[in-house]
């Protein structure tokens, strides 16, 4: 572990678009709002809300960690090591912002109050690209490494990192979530499979998808521990039953060229994903109980590409970043309460 201090910059910006469906949107479109990030061409992405209502995100191309205060519209930016190119940020149980150094083979912990950074370098030089992360209930941090072809677990209390290499070459571990038992599930984007790791034995098990052309990219788990994925190459939403290995799929409303990417699940076990094959990108909901799509809502800025999003249970809101330089919010949950406004 290595320590340093990050320089922080606070900037006010103009308010974003109002939280109303865009003109011409379907009748069941959801309220959406976006804030323009004040750093051009920085690819803001992977926002996540902390306990104070601040929305943390990273600038993958801009090489920073930052947060948005939705109440004031202010952004605060923290400078990090050159060449980090952070891919993902998650708020830990300690209230700190943990980010994935996608180009320098490390995971960083940023303490918001002091700007202090603690670095956790990968123990294997072939694993250079921590990708997507999530915290387990016991405080462990799980992560994927797409081109490192590995999944890892970081124990913050000790700094120990354990890596599990995928036995399939170039399988590209990508999206990552946990089930109700704290077991990680992840897409193998380079092949047609979903995989998991047993936290006790650290053994990897993969579940092949029936179509060899399938390329699952993002993933979600509903409260019944069913594993859901979006098939980026074929334009499908799919469900894997981990108990039987059975798979069921539904063609996306946007068709085979819809390129479904960012994905999450809300507090009513409804799936949400973004079709990125068209401009503007489109947010789409799916209800497993009725097996019907709903809530198709265009991203007001166009989106460019929406790569990842998270659902905040306290507010019933989805947060996402866009390649055109915005942080966005869609209100989809049962209560539909703003985080703060």
- Tell me which residue of 185, 186, 183, 241 sits closest to 210, measured CA to CA: 241
- Dump strand ranges (E) for 40-192: 44-49, 55-59, 64-68, 75-79, 86-91, 97-101, 106-110, 116-121, 130-135, 141-145, 150-155, 160-165, 173-178, 184-188
Q: What is the pLDDT of residue 26?
A: 78
Work out the pLDDT band at 145, boundaries 50, 70, 90. very high
341 belongs to a structural domain:
no
Q: Could you read off the pLDDT of 87-144 as tens digits, one per residue?
A: 999 999 999 999 999 999 999 999 999 999 999 999 999 999 999 999 999 999 999 9
Q: Where residue 15 falls among pLDDT bands split at 50, 70, 90?
A: very low
Q: Are 297 and 330 in contact (CB under 8 A)?
A: yes
Q: Look at residue 336 and tell me if it is in a domain.
A: no
Structural domain includes residue 294: yes
Q: Establish if 340 belongs to a structural domain.
A: no
In-domain check, residue 338: no
Query: Which is more confidently placed, 25 or 135?
Result: 135
Domain count, the chain: 1
| Partners of 65 in the β-ladder | 58, 78
Could you tell me the residue range of the domain that residue 206 belongs to? Answer: 2-20+27-331
Q: Is residue 339 part of a domain?
A: no
The DSSP code for 205 is: E
In a domain, 311, yes or no: yes
Task: Of 11, 14, 17, give the one whose Cα is nearest residue 67.
Answer: 11
> The CATH number of the domain where 256 resides is what?
2.130.10.10
User: Does residue 111 form part of some domain?
Assistant: yes
What distance in Å separates the CA atoms of residue 93 and residue 67, rounded to the nearest whole number? Answer: 17
The pLDDT value given to residue 22: 59
Residue 335 has pLDDT above 60, yes or no: no
Express each pLDDT in 239-293 by its tens digit.
999 999 999 999 999 999 999 999 999 999 999 999 999 999 999 999 999 999 9
């Amino acid at each position: 572990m290595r320590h340093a201090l990050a320089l922080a910059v606070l900037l006010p910006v103009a308010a974003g678009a109002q939280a109303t469906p865009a003109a011409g949107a379907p009748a069941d479109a959801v309220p959406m709002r976006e804030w323009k990030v004040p750093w051009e061409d920085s690819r803001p992405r992977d926002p996540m809300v902390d306990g104070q209502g601040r929305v943390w995100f990273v600038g993958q191309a801009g090489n920073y960690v930052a947060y948005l205060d939705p109440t004031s519209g202010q952004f605060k930016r923290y400078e990090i090591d050159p060449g980090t190119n952070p891919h993902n940020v998650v708020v830990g149980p300690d209230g700190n912002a943990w980010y994935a150094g996608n180009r320098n083979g490390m995971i960083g912990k940023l303490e918001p109050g002091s700007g202090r950074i603690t670095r956790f370098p990968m123990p294997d030089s072939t694993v250079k690209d921590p990708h997507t992360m999530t915290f387990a209930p016991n405080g462990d941090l799980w992560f994927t490494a797409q081109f490192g072809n590995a999944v890892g677990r970081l124990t913050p209390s000790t700094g120990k990192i354990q890596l599990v290499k995928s036995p399939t070459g170039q399988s590209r571990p990508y999206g990552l979530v946990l089930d109700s038992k704290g077991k990680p599930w992840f897409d193998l984007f380079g092949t047609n499979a979903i995989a998991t790791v047993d936290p006790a034995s650290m053994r990897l098990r993969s579940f092949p998808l029936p179509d060899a052309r399938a390329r699952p990219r993002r993933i979600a788990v509903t409260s019944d521990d069913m594993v859901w994925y979006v098939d980026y190459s074929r334009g499908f939403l799919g469900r894997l039953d981990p108990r039987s290995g059975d798979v069921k799929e539904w063609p996306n409303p946007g068709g085979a060229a819809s390129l479904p990417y960012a994905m999450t699940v809300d507090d009513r076990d409804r799936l949400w994903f973004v079709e990125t094959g068209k401009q503007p990108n489109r947010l789409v909901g799916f209800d497993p109980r009725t097996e019907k799509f709903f809530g198709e809502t265009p991203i007001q800025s166009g989106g460019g590409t929406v790569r990842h999003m998270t659902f905040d249970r306290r507010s019933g809101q989805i947060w996402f970043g866009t390649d055109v330089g915005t942080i966005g919010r869609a209100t989809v949950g049962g209560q539909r309460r703003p985080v703060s406004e």
